[in-house]
Amino acid sequence: MSTKHTALRRFAAGAGALALALAGFAGVGTAAMADENDPVGTNIGPDQPGAPDDGTLTINKYSGGPVGQGETPDRDNLLDGVEFTVTRVGKVDGGTCVPLDLTNASHWDGLEDLFDSAPAAPADPFCLTTTVKDAVTVGGKVTFTLDVGIYLVQETDPGDHPIVSKVPDFYVSIPTSLGEGGAGWTYDVVADPKNQLMDVPSKTIDEDQVDLVVGSDVTWTLNVPIPVLNNDETFTEAVITDTLDSRLTYVPGSSTVTIDSDPATPLVDGTHYNVEGNAVWTLTESGRALLDDNQGNNLIIEFDTTVTSVGNGSIPNDDYASKFNGTTVPGEDEPHTYWGQLSILKTDDSETALPLAGAEFQVFDAAGTQCPATVPTGDPVATGVSGDDGIVLWDYTSPATSPLGLWIANSDDPLNSPTKDYCVYETVVPSGHSAGVITNPVTISAGENNVNALTIVNPKTDGPDLPLTGAQGTLLMTVGGLVLVGIGGGALALTRRRKTE
């Protein structure tokens, strides 16, 4: 028996099975080193007469965690568009990387150590040749036709999939022994690598709004799934980004970050994470260590933003994402906060209305279906006083401004034309005028173009009745005088007539 044949038989007992085991260690989950249609192999060693010159490597790409021994991956989880690169392994010979020849017994030397080194690239005396093939999965599968030899297999592009823990590099031998219990060799190797996919982060808004004027804070909650990593990997990067609308400003120090473990695991600002800008949470090394210990749980981030202006009234918070170990997944939920405006002009009831200064108004939340007839007790939402031009300036800003920005609604989903009712009262009436009529409730619609502009008219108070002096008294006296003159003239004429007679 030749030395070459003895070496091949000795290696055949474990080499192929070892390659398979190492492939599974590298994260392929399960791998079948046999033709899917011919599981017993060809029974022909690479040095035997009539042995094939080539074989195939078929990769079935799945999502999910590794399966147990003897378990079959779910074909519903096959992934398309994942790229794999296969590079032939050689040995350095005279400064040149020469492909390993598996019909040569000396080229089997050291292969066990090479396989043990996965996922590392080959080290001296082994090397990577320039024989490289790459292809992407179609229907979750990709098949390479390969010459007899040893190959390094790498997952080089996840495609459109949010793969956070890629399959570590692994080695494949064409052909591969079916081991001591197997029947010979197989030239058609099948690997079933699995990847963990990142789940999508979600976001909600606190629908119970406490402060109701522009300049108030709104509370949001991010729910970020912590990925499960393969192969004892750890987190090297963890960043949560929320690109806020221009009308929202992050409130520094407002973040509360926890992991929903049992019991919950709190994270400390400055120790486990840092917040920058508007707004980015970056986990530190100690924070990532907590993620390592809580894979599969959720990172919960609650924070506040200040609403700075109304604009079109619909303020979304839908541009956010989580990034772990270089893979970014955007969120899909679209929570909104909605805001509108109220303005009041104060005038008198002159034919050409004149503005009135000094009128005070208070706005209250219409908690029920009707507004009370009198001013409610408790603090108003806002107070405003009319200026010299009659425009009511509201104290929710400093200095007071108009119009008044008011909250309408918070919703986890977009709303169609939301509105909210408020109760408005005139609490100070300018001197010499009566209170104006306000029809409550006052409805606020979203957006600056839908401002509810009220004109409140204060009638002038009627004055008292005056004595009969002046023009009216003079008229009566004139008429009386004329009567007396008439009477005197008549008497004089009668006297003259009698004398004549």
pLDDT in tens, 305-329: 999 999 999 999 999 999 999 999 9
**Highest mean predicted confidence (pLDDT) among 10-24, 228-242, 247-261:** 247-261
SS3 486: helix
Q: What fold is seen in the domain 338-457?
A: Immunoglobulin-like (2.60.40)
Tell me what the mean pLDDT of segment 334-362 comes to: 97
Q: 166 and 3 in contact (C-beta within 8 Å)?
A: no
pLDDT at 40: 43
CA distance 248 to 217: 9
Average pLDDT for the chain? 86
Write the CA distances from 351 to 111, 429, 437, 460, integer angstroms.
104, 20, 18, 12
Q: What fold is seen in the domain 54-196?
A: Immunoglobulin-like (2.60.40)
The residue ranking higher by pLDDT, 26 or 70, is: 70
Q: What is the pLDDT of residues 249-307, one digit of tens each?
A: 999 999 999 999 999 999 999 999 999 999 999 999 999 999 999 999 999 999 999 99
Q: Spell out the residues 6+ positions from residue 331 whose beta carbon is closer than 8 angstroms to its own.
A: 200, 201, 202, 203, 222, 318, 320, 321, 322
Question: What CATH number labels 202-334?
Answer: 2.60.40.740
Q: Which residue has the tokens 């003079």?
A: 474
pLDDT band at 77 (very low <50, low <70, confident <90, very high): confident
pLDDT at 460: 93
> What residue ranges do the domains of the chain occupy?
54-196, 202-334, 338-457
pLDDT of 20 above 50 = no
pLDDT band at 470 (very low <50, low <70, confident <90, very high): low
Tell me what the mean pLDDT of segment 347-371 comes to: 93
Most distant CA pair in the chain, distance: 192
Q: 141 and 192 in contact (C-beta within 8 Å)?
A: no
Q: 227 and 199 in contact (C-beta within 8 Å)?
A: yes
First to last CA, the chain: 192
pLDDT of 399 above 90 = yes
